[in-house]
C-alpha cells in the first residue's frame, strides 16, 4: 500500500512516448505508412507499459526529499518535503491509463482507416491528448497540475479544429477563450496555496495547510473557489457545459472518445485534489455537490432538446460528468468509489455510443435525426451496438452503467440525501429517453429519403466493428464482474478519505 520506490521506471514513459510520437507524427505529416506504423507501435507500447508497471512514485530530476529532522532521503514512504516534482502511479492510475491507452489505440486505428490527407498532425494531437490526461491523473503537484490542464485545453482546441468546419472553429475559439479565464484562475489558486503553505507538492501543502488559522481562512476559500472554477472548466461542468458540448459535438466522434476520456480523468484528478486540499473546509463539499447536481440535470435536459445525435451524445457526456463528480463530492469512501467507477464505465459506454455515431457518419448524410433514417436495415450490427450502448448508459442491469449508478444511489442514501438518489435516477431515465429518441429515428424509423441516385457514402470500416466489439466486451465484463474495476479504485478512495496526504 505504501510504496517506497521513488524512481519507478514506467512513469516517465507515459509522458515521453506520446511526446516523441507526437513530434515524429507531426513531422511525417502526410506519409501514410510511416504514420500508421509509428502511431500503432507507440500506442501499443503505452498499453504494454501500463500493464507491466508496478506501483510507485517518480521524483523527476532526481532531487531527494528533505527529512523534517534534516538530511535527505530517496524513500517515498518516509515523511519529507519533496524537492522534486512528484508523480504517483497506483491502482487508480493503472486502470485509468490502461483504459485511456486502449482507447487511444482504437481511436488511432479508426483515424488511420477512415481519414485521408495529412493525418500526421491530427494523430499527433490525439497522442498529446493522452499525454495531458496521463499527466493530470498521475501528478501530485499543484503547479504541474496547472500545466497539465493548460496544455490539455490547448490540445482539445486543436483536435476540434482539425475537422476544419466553421462550427468547430467557433467551438474551439470559445473554448480557448475560457481556458484563459480558468487557467488564470488555477494559477491564482496555486499562488494563494503557495503563499500560505510554501509547497507546490500537494501532499506537502496539505500537511503545511494552516487550517486552524482563522486569519487565513478567506485565502483558502478564494483558492478553493478558483480551483473549483478550473475544475468546472476542465470537466465541462455546469456553466461551461454549452462550450464543452460544442467541443464534443463538433469534433469527429472518434476524437470525442479521447476528449471525453481526458476530461473525465481531469474531473477525477482535480476533484480528488480539491477533496484532499479543501475537503475539511465547511461548504466545500456542498459547493461541489451543487455544481454536480446542476450539471447532471441541465446536461440531460439539454440532451433531450437536441436534434443531432452527435449533440445529444455531447450533452449526455456532460451530464454524466455530473454523476462522476457527484460521487467524488460526497466525500465518503463509497461515494468516491462510485464516482471513480462511474468515470471508468462512462468512458467505456460513451465510447460505444460515439463509435456507433461514427458509423452513422459513414452513410454520408450526417447525424441529424431529421435527415438520417433506416440505418438498421443497412447496418444491423451498428444498431445492436448503439442499443447496447444506450442500455449501458441508462443503467440497465447486465451492463456496466448499472453497477456504478447503484453504488452512487446507495452512497447518496447513506449520506442522508435521498434527493440526490432521485436525481441520479432521473438522469438515467432521461438518458434512456434522449438516446432512444435518436436511436429510433436514426436506426429504426423506415427510410423515407429518396433512394435513387443518392450517394451512399463509404462502407463502415471493419476496424470500427472490431473496436465496438472490444468495448462492448468491456461493458459487459464490468457489468458482470464489477469487482474487476472496483479493486483498482478502493485504494484511492480509502487514501483520500483517511490519509489525505498520500495520493
Among residue numbers 338 through 367, which ones bind another protein (CB under 8 A)? 361-362, 364
Interface with another protein, residue 64, by CB under 8 A? yes
* Cα–Cα dist 30/53, whole Å: 34
- Which secondary structure element, helix H or strand E, spans residue 403, and what is its range? helix 400-414
Minimum distance between the CB of residue 445 and another protein, rounded to whole angstroms?
Answer: 9
* Cα–Cα dist 190/264, whole Å: 22
Minimum distance between the CB of residue 237 and another protein, rounded to whole angstroms?
Answer: 9
- Which secondary structure element, helix H or strand E, spans residue 264, and what is its range? helix 253-278
Candidate segments 40-48, 57-65, 258-266, 319-327, binder of another protein by CB under 8 A:
57-65
Candidate segments 22-30, 36-44, 95-103, 259-267, binder of another protein by CB under 8 A:
22-30
3-state secondary structure 217-249: HHHHHHHHHHHHHHHHHHHCCHHHHHHHHHHHH
Contact with another protein (CB under 8 A) among 95, 270, 277, 298: 298
Minimum distance between the CB of residue 342 and another protein, rounded to whole angstroms?
Answer: 20
Of 261, 442, 257, nearest in space to 355 by CA: 257
Minimum distance between the CB of residue 473 and another protein, rounded to whole angstroms?
Answer: 27
Contact 267, 231 (CB under 8 A): yes
Contact 60, 12 (CB under 8 A): yes
Contact with another protein (CB under 8 A) among 282, 446, 450, 453: 282
Place of cell 444506450: 390
String of contacts with another protein for each residue 169-208, x by CB under 8 A: x-xx-x--xx--x------x---x-xxxxxxxx--x---x
Interface with another protein, residue 211, by CB under 8 A? no
Minimum distance between the CB of residue 93 and another protein, rounded to whole angstroms?
Answer: 16
Contact with another protein (CB under 8 A) among 218, 414, 483, 487: 218
Site for another protein in 148-167 (CB under 8 A): 148, 150-151, 154-155, 157-158, 161-166
* Cα–Cα dist 334/402, whole Å: 15
String of contacts with another protein for each residue 483-502, x by CB under 8 A: --------------------
Minimum distance between the CB of residue 176 and another protein, rounded to whole angstroms?
Answer: 8
Q: Which three cell numbers stand for residue 111?
A: 483515424
* Cα–Cα dist 250/166, whole Å: 9
Return all residues near 497 (Cβ < 8 A) that are at least 6 apart: 331, 332, 333, 336
Interface with another protein, residue 85, by CB under 8 A? yes
Minimum distance between the CB of residue 478 and another protein, rounded to whole angstroms?
Answer: 28
Interface with another protein, residue 477, by CB under 8 A? no
Site for another protein in 121-140 (CB under 8 A): 121-122, 124-125, 128, 135
Minimum distance between the CB of residue 164 and another protein, rounded to whole angstroms?
Answer: 3
Q: What is the largest CA-CA distance in the chain?
A: 83
- Closest to another protein by CB, 161 or 337: 161
Site for another protein in 369-428 (CB under 8 A): 369-370, 419, 422-423, 426
Length of the chain equals 503
| Phi, psi at 117, each rounded to 5° | 65, 120
How, if at all, do strands 81-82 and 56-60 pair? unpaired
CA distances in angstroms from 491 to 92, 212, 278, listed in the order given:
8, 28, 20
- Closest to another protein by CB, 228 or 502: 228
- Closest to another protein by CB, 47 or 66: 66
Minimum distance between the CB of residue 303 and another protein, rounded to whole angstroms?
Answer: 9
Interface with another protein, residue 240, by CB under 8 A? yes
Place of cell 483498482: 488
The interaxial angle of helices 166-197 and 217-235, nearest 10 deg, is: 160
Contact with another protein (CB under 8 A) among 83, 333, 463, 476: 83
Site for another protein in 426-465 (CB under 8 A): 426, 430, 433-434, 437, 440-441, 455, 457-458
- Which secondary structure element, helix H or strand E, spans residue 295, and what is its range? helix 284-305
Minimum distance between the CB of residue 56 and another protein, rounded to whole angstroms?
Answer: 11
Of 254, 244, 303, nearest in space to 427 by CA: 303
Contact with another protein (CB under 8 A) among 66, 184, 396, 494: 66
Interface with another protein, residue 228, by CB under 8 A? yes
- Which secondary structure element, helix H or strand E, spans residue 309, and what is its range? helix 309-330
Contact with another protein (CB under 8 A) among 48, 79, 211, 305: 305
Interface with another protein, residue 276, by CB under 8 A? no
- Closest to another protein by CB, 200 or 411: 200
**One-character DSSP codes across 426-453:** HHHHHHHHHHHHHHIIIIIS---S--TT
Amino acid at each position: 500500500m505504501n510504496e517506497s520506490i521513488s524512481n519507478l521506471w514506467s512513469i516517465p514513459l507515459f509522458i515521453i512516448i506520446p511526446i516523441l510520437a507526437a513530434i515524429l507524427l507531426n513531422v511525417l505529416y502526410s506519409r501514410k505508412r510511416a504514420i500508421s506504423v509509428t502511431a500503432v507501435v507507440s500506442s501499443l507500447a503505452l498499453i504494454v507499459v501500463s500493464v507491466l508497471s508496478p506501483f510507485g512514485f517518480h521524483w523527476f530530476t532526481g532531487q531527494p526529499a528533505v527529512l523534517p529532522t534534516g538530511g535527505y532521503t530517496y524513500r517515498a514512504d518516509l515523511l519529507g518535503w519533496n524537492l522534486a516534482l512528484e508523480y504517483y502511479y497506483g491502482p487508480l492510475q493503472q486502470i485509468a491509463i490502461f483504459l485511456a491507452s486502449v482507447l487511444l489505440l482504437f481511436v488511432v486505428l479508426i483515424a488511420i482507416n477512415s481519414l485521408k490527407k495529412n493525418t500526421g498532425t491530427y494523430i499527433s494531437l490525439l497522442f498529446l491528448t493522452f499525454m495531458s490526461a496521463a499527466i493530470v491523473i498521475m501528478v501530485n503537484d499543484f503547479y504541474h497540475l496547472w500545466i497539465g490542464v493548460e496544455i490539455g485545453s490547448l490540445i482539445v482546441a486543436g483536435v476540434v479544429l482539425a475537422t476544419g468546419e466553421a462550427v468547430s472553429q467557433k467551438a474551439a475559439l470559445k473554448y480557448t477563450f475560457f481556458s484563459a479565464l480558468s487557467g488564470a484562475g488555477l494559477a491564482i489558486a496555486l499562488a494563494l496555496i503557495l503563499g500560505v503553505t510554501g509547497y507546490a507538492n500537494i501532499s506537502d501543502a496539505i500537511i503545511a495547510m494552516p487550517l486552524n488559522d482563522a486569519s487565513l481562512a478567506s485565502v483558502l476559500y478564494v483558492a478553493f473557489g478558483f480551483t473549483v472554477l478550473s475544475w468546472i472548466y476542465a470537466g465541462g461542468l455546469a456553466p461551461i457545459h454549452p462550450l464543452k458540448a460544442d467541443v464534443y459535438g463538433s469534433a469527429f466522434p472518434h476524437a470525442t472518445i479521447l476528449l471525453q476520456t481526458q476530461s473525465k480523468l481531469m474531473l477525477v484528478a482535480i476533484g480528488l485534489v480539491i477533496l484532499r486540499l479543501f475537503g475539511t473546509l465547511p461548504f466545500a463539499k456542498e459547493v461541489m455537490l451543487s455544481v454536480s447536481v446542476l450539471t447532471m440535470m441541465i446536461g440531460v435536459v439539454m440532451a433531450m432538446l437536441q436534434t443531432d445525435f452527435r449533440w445529444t451524445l455531447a450533452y449526455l457526456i456532460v451530464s454524466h460528468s455530473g454523476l462522476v463528480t457527484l460521487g467524488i463530492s460526497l466525500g465518503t469512501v463509497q461515494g468516491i468509489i462510485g464516482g471513480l467507477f462511474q468515470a471508468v464505465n462512462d468512458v467505456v459506454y460513451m465510447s460505444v455510443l460515439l463509435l456507433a455515431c461514427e458509423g452513422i457518419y459513414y452513410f454520408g448524410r450526417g447525424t441529424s435525426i431529421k435527415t438520417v433514417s433506416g440505418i438498421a436495415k443497412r447496418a444491423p450490427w451498428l444498431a445492436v451496438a448503439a442499443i447496447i450502448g444506450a442500455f449501458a448508459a441508462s443503467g440497465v442491469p447486465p451492463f456496466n452503467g448499472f453497477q456504478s449508478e447503484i453504488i452512487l444511489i446507495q452512497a447518496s442514501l447513506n449520506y442522508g440525501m435521498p434527493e440526490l438518489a432521485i436525481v441520479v435516477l432521473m438522469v438515467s431515465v432521461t438518458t434512456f429517453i434522449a438516446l432512444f429518441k435518436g436511436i429510433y429515428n436514426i436506426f429504426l424509423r423506415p427510410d423515407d429519403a429518396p433512394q435513387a441516385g443518392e450517394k451512399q457514402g463509404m462502407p463502415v470500416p471493419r476496424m470500427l466493428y472490431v473496436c465496438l466489439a472490444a468495448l462492448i466486451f468491456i461493458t459487459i465484463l464490468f457489468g458482470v464482474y464489477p469487482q474487476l474495476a472496483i479493486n483498482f479504485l478502493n485504494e484511492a478512495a480509502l487514501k483520500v478519505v483517511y490519509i489525505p496526504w498520500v495520493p
